[in-house]
Amino acid sequence: MTQKIFDYDAKGILAKADITGKKKPGSEVYGRLFVLGPKAKKKDVIDQLKSEALAWHLKRAQKKAPIARFSTDKGPVWIIQPEFKADSEHAGLLEKSPYGLYRDLVGSHINQIKVHELEEVHMEFIDASDEEIIGSLAGIEIGSYKYRSVKQPKDYALKNPKFFIKGVSAAIKKEAIALGTGVNVARHLVNTPPDACNPTDYAKEIKKLFAGIDEIKVETWAGKRLEKENMNLLIAVGKGSDNGPCMVHIKYTPKGKKNKQPYAFVGKGITFDTGGLDIKPSAGMRNMKKDMGGSASLVGFAQWLHASDSKAACDIYLAIAENSIDERAFRPSDIITSRNGLTVEIHNTDAEGRLVLADVLDVAANKTGAQAPEFIVDLATLTGAMRVGLGIKVAGLFSNNDSIADALIKSGQRMSDGLWRMPLLMEMKSALKSNFANISNCAISPFGGAITAAIFLSKFIGDKPWIHIDMMAWTEISDGALSESGGNGQVVQALADFVTRKITK
């Protein structure tokens, strides 16, 4: 079925691609895209085109370079063969994988291909591995997305050519579509302006996205239900907005599930963050529609679960609110009792993300019996301190469990969706001491802000194995397959690899 969320059609450019390998060109001018594995000989491809291209074009194309582009009598040709560079300084954990190299190189050229306004592009893989093929196709899907092409298709969009792809199985195509659309759903949610993506509409659209899918159930807690559940931290953060807070639970239970206990994921969904009464400066508020990026990545991950027919049963919980300002807004020095009974003194209303996560983490951690999670992973655009420390391309990871932490970091490397482990220094918990409550919501000192935020969250996960990911969810520039600045779908691909390996090991 065609799925739409905030106008984004989750059946993108690859869904219409023909992979039979039998189609001959149906137009006079068409593009050809050759994607070569590391050991393939570029010269063999060039030799096939001698009768169609100028000699100097072919001579230049033979130079060692990851991209060769030239024209022929029949249309433009692209030959792509990435160059691998080892990273020995970080035990390979930040090294670009074959998947990532092909994704970014092929994806970065999809809009150049579309500029030619071709009716058809015939694509062929030569001596490429499954990983390289999936990366290339996911790159096409990711690279073809632009926000304005969705919102203003008549005015802005470059025409998508029909792809005819040789040497690709239906299973590979399916996985590439699942990864690409999962990333793009997350990107589109982050890019959607906050006047459209308020907590109420966001929750409704998530329900619409997964309506009619048997293995997915969506439940929303709002209003009286939040009060009944004593989710006072979530309520406090959202009560300054006309659009009240909520928790959305996406439950994915596939037929033939492979894990006895579900994997739990919790996402921060602050649809806009003014900072509250501790208001942000204007420059700091400019892109705060991205403060729901953790939840958006989990919606994209849920899209991947469904589209790939994953056998990993997952519970996804989204803590959704708008941190706004009016006479009802919560205040510095307020003391609020959390769902798990801890009293929290509000030191800063701009440290709101950890508050909404705390109550929802408690919901996930206290499931029992067959619903008790094997582990919990939370995703959040939580601290500026993490961006200062790691930049915007690599997310910080904190954990109380070495096994799952190592596995997720390795998945991030395989998918070029970088994660780096940070220390959960419990000796810093004294920075959250309060004279009036069990804990303060943030430290007075600016040092180690990402660490103290993680320590705060650790108070709400009980004894569960747990990972906290502090991420940006945004790119400032076009980067690889990401064709424009905006939401980047961070961690979606890493989570996809992570749960796949968990259920198949």
Alpha-carbon distance 391 to 406, whole Å? 21
Q: Are strands 395-399 and 4-5 parallel, antiparallel or unpaired?
A: unpaired
Alpha-carbon distance 336 to 316, whole Å? 25
Fold of 192-504: Aminopeptidase (3.40.630)
**Residues of the chain scoring pLDDT < 50:** 1-2
Main-chain dihedrals φ then ψ at residue 168, nearest 5 degrees: -130, 130
pLDDT of 4: 63
The catalytic residue among 32, 354, 459, 464 is: 354
The dihedral over CA atoms of 231, 234, 240, 244, expressed in degrees to the nearest 10, equals: -80
CATH architecture of 4-181: 3-Layer(aba) Sandwich (3.40)
pLDDT of 112: 86
pLDDT of 446: 84
CA within 13 Å, CB half, 251: 14
Annotated catalytic, 280? yes
Q: Domain-by-domain residue ranges, the chain?
A: 4-181, 192-504
Whole-structure pTM value: 0.96
Q: Nearest to residue 301, comparing CAs of 260, 267, 261?
A: 267
Annotated catalytic, 217? no
pLDDT of 8: 73
Alpha-carbon distance 75 to 69, whole Å? 11
pLDDT of 2: 45
In 401-458, at which residue ranges do the beta strands (DSSP E only) sit? 419-421, 439-440
The per-residue DSSP string of 361-374 comes to: HHHHHT--GGGS-S
The catalytic residue among 69, 208, 239, 280 is: 280
Main-chain dihedrals φ then ψ at residue 165, nearest 5 degrees: -115, 125
pLDDT of 126: 96
Estimate to the nearest angstrom the gap between the alpha carbon of 291 and the chain centroid.
Answer: 13
